[in-house]
Structure 1
Amino acid sequence: MSNTMMGVLVCGVVGALLLSFGLRDAARVRRLRRHGIRTTGMVVDNVRVQEPRSSSPSWAPVIAFADQQGYRVEFTPSMRGAGMGLPTGRQVAVVYLPHNPQVARVFTRRHMTGPVFFIVAMGLLFLGMSVAIAVTG
Structure 2
Amino acid sequence: MKVISVLKFGFSLVGIALLAGAMMLYKNTNNFLDNAVSETGTVVDLVKVRGDNSITYKPVVEFTARDGQKVEFTSSVSSNPPSHSVGEIVEVLYLPSNVQAAKINSYARLWGGFLVTLVLGVVFSLVGGLIFFVGMLRRRKKDHLQRNGVVVEATVQSVVNNYSVSINGKSPFMIQCQWLDPATSELHLFESENIWFDPSGFINDEKIKVFVERNNLKKYHVDISFLPKLKS
User: Which TM bucket (shorter chain)?
Assistant: 0.7 to 0.9
The correspondence for 1:92, drawn from 79, 90, 97, is: 90
User: Gapped runs of 5+ residues in structure 2?
Assistant: 136-232
> Offset of 1:75 from its aligned partner?
2.7
- 1:9 partner SS: helix
Coordinate RMSD, CA, aligned: 2.3
From the two aligned structures, give the one with the greater helix fraction.
1
8 A contact 1:42–1:64 mirrored in 2: yes
Q: What residue identity is the alignment partner of 2:105?
A: F
**TM-score, normalised with respect to structure 1:** 0.81
Question: Relative contact order (C-alpha < 8 Å, sep 6+): which is higher?
Answer: 1
8 A contact 1:25–1:116 mirrored in 2: yes
User: Gapped runs of 5+ residues in structure 1?
Assistant: none
From the two aligned structures, give the one with the greater strand fraction.
2
With over 3 angstroms needed to count, the CA separation of the structure-2 counterparts of 1:89 and 1:55, relative to structure 1, is same
Matched residue, 1:64 = 62
8 A contact 2:57–2:81 mirrored in 1: no
Matched residue, 2:37 = 37
8 A contact 1:39–1:65 mirrored in 2: yes
Q: Give structure 1 regions of 4+ aligned residues with deviation exceeding 4 angstroms.
A: none
Q: Distance in 1 between matches of 2:17 and 2:134?
A: 23
8 A contact 1:79–1:115 mirrored in 2: no
1:136 matches 2:128: no
The correspondence for 1:119, drawn from 117, 120, 125, is: 117
8 A contact 2:12–2:128 mirrored in 1: yes
8 A contact 1:38–1:96 mirrored in 2: yes
- 1:38 partner SS: strand
> Offset of 1:3 from its aligned partner?
0.9
Q: Distance in 1 between matches of 2:18 and 2:62?
A: 29
**TM-score, normalised with respect to structure 2:** 0.51
